[in-house]
Amino acid sequence: MAIDDRQWGYYEILIDEKNCKVKKITVEPNERLSYQYHNERSEAWTIVAGTATITLDDVVENYYYGETILIPQGTKHRVENKGQDDLVFIEVQHGSYFGEDDIVRIEDDYNRK
């Protein structure tokens, strides 16, 4: 599938089915995604390269290669790459809707709504 470039890096959709969507997400050094939540889906992130600094409902923790974090539907979350190498993780989405318009941004470095 196609790679979708973003300001913070890029992602590739690996699986896109009715009940599940799987992405390989790469966050470039010193970049982060928006602080956000979803109304229609939950997510699980598994780190495959680098160190992820993850915020869940205002609690910040580092996650390393092989670790997985569960993000329940409605939970505020953000991932940041404070390292010098790319951060890569696999995101598995579960729920009833996986559109990009289900992203509710609380804070965003790129002024997206």
The rounded distance, in Å, linking the Cα atoms of 77 and 95 is: 17
Assigned fold of 3-107? Jelly Rolls (2.60.120)
pLDDT exceeds cutoff 90 at 111: no
pLDDT exceeds cutoff 90 at 112: no
pLDDT digit string (tens) for 47-80?
999 999 999 999 999 999 999 999 999 999 999 9
- SS3 state of residue 44: strand
Q: What is the pLDDT of residue 2?
A: 73
Q: What is the pLDDT of residue 1?
A: 62
Q: Quote the pTM value.
A: 0.93
DSSP state at residue 97: -
More confident residue, 100 or 63: 63
Backbone conformation region of residue 57, classed left if phi is above 0, alpha if psi is from -120 to 50, else beta: left
